[in-house]
Amino acid sequence: MKTGNVILTITDLQKTYVKNIPSRQLANSKKFLPLVQDSALAVEFAYLVGKVMGDGHLDSNFSLCFVGKKNEIMSLKEHISNRVWVPEGRFFIKRRKGMGISYRLSVNDCLLGRLLFLLGAPQGNKTKQAFLVPSWIVGNMSTKKAFLQALLEDELTTIKISKCNYSVKPRLKMSKKQHLAYNLAEFLLQVKQAIESFGVKCSNISKPIPKKETGSVQIYLDINREKQNIITFSNEIGFRIYEEKITCLKNCVDVLEKTKFNRKPEVNESRIIYLRTQGLTIRQISDKTKVNKTTVHRVLKKYDPFPFNLRDRI
């Protein structure tokens, strides 16, 4: 019987077996169970549930696998080994060729797989089944943060400087079969609310985008790219073990911190119009006024709605 903040017990684990729990697995399970909410181990399991919902896979035999770049896979292997005490012999890494080079990490530990399944990790093809963020994860800030770090490491676009001193607009995009669009929208709404609970602003959930060739839909949400919002994301959520994404985010935030109080340059529209009457091109006006070409084009279009010369389309 569960009491207090207990999430998982040996009784729950027993339900995943046809007969009794094998004696060796029963002994090993005592390292993890009972699992309580306010524990370091709960945080690690929340992270791994997020990984399964991202680029991971839990098969019908409760084996786990994860796909990614070599350095990501090596980091994840070390993390699982050290934090969840999986023996070295349970890991297997395979190089794969497809649209590019990737690596597959298999974790042949059915006890770990059974525990993650009981904790809400989907089993089988994620695009063909409904699932949501488990309530035990969203009900605690530490487990919620770990879950987001895992999911966003896998599914969020890399955060880096895009133009001038602003970052790209980070986008989380996921797919499911068309008849499960409602579930994907609900899942992403949960993720949006979880991100926003850390003070990070997000866009609304997009409408489903059909992919007729696969019978699937894509739905996405964006993290607001306003400078302070990206800084807040870095400080409050960030990433956990993938060095490339951690480094890109840090480099981006370094630029944003230095420029977050910079004001937009004042646009002297009269001077832009005057230079135009002197026959200067958009590029020449941009050079003289230190205003980008897009802004020059916008100012000229406001005062002269007729098309510009072909020579100005640069």
DSSP sequence for 90-153: GEEEEEEESSSEEEEEEE--HHHHHHHHHTT---S-GGGS-----HHHHTSHHHHHHHHHHHHH
Q: Report which of 90, 45, 95, 31 is spatially closest to residue 68, judged by C-alpha positions.
A: 95
| pLDDT tier for residue 218 given thresholds of 50, 70 and 90 | very high
| pLDDT mean across residues, the chain | 90
3-class state of residue 157 by DSSP: coil
Tokens coding 42: 């709960």
pLDDT at 102 over 70: yes
* Predicted local distance difference test score (pLDDT) of residue 314: 43
* Predicted local distance difference test score (pLDDT) of residue 1: 46
Strand partners, 58: 64
Ranking 95-104, 255-264, 266-275, 294-303 by mean pLDDT, the lowest is 255-264
Ranking 216-220, 246-250, 309-313 by mean pLDDT, the lowest is 309-313
* Predicted local distance difference test score (pLDDT) of residue 115: 97
pLDDT at 82 over 50: yes
* Predicted local distance difference test score (pLDDT) of residue 269: 84
At 126, phi and psi to the nearest 5? -70, -25
Tokens coding 83: 């934090």
pLDDT at 106 over 70: yes
d(CA 225, CA 165): 11
Whether the pTM exceeds 0.75: the reply is: yes
d(CA 118, CA 90): 21
Cα-based distances in Å from 92 to 18, 48, 104, 311: 27, 17, 8, 59
Residue 178 CB partners (closer than 8 Å, separation 6+): 208, 210, 215, 216, 217
* Predicted local distance difference test score (pLDDT) of residue 214: 87
Residue 198 CB partners (closer than 8 Å, separation 6+): 145, 232, 233, 236, 237
What strands lie across the sheet with 171-177, from one edge to the other? 171-177, 216-222, 209-211
* Predicted local distance difference test score (pLDDT) of residue 2: 58
d(CA 163, CA 225): 11
* Predicted local distance difference test score (pLDDT) of residue 304: 67
Q: Averaged over 211-233, what is the pLDDT?
A: 93
Q: Averaged over 235-258, what is the pLDDT?
A: 94
**pLDDT: is 214 or 250 the higher one?**
250
| pLDDT tier for residue 3 given thresholds of 50, 70 and 90 | low
* Predicted local distance difference test score (pLDDT) of residue 75: 93
